[in-house]
Amino acid sequence: MSDRSDKFAGEDPFEIARTWLSAAEDSEINDPNAMALSTVDSTGMPNVRMVLLKDIEPDGFVFYTNYGSAKGQEIDASGKAALVLHWKSLRRQIRVRGTVERVAGEKADAYFASRSLKSRLGAWASDQSKPLSSRTALVAEVAKVTARHGNAPKRPAFWGGYKVTPIEIEFWADGAFRLHDRFQWRRDSDGAGWKIQRLNP
For residues 90 and 86, give the distance between their C-alpha atoms in angstroms, rounded to a whole number: 9
Q: Which helix or strand (DSSP H or E) is residue 83 part of?
A: strand 80-87
Q: Is 178 a catalytic residue?
A: yes
For residues 193 and 133, give the distance between their C-alpha atoms in angstroms, rounded to a whole number: 51
Q: Which helix or strand (DSSP H or E) is residue 149 part of?
A: helix 135-149
SS3 of 114, please?
helix
* Angle CA 167–168–169, to nearest 5: 135
Catalytic option among 4, 91, 148, 178: 178
Known catalytic residues are 178
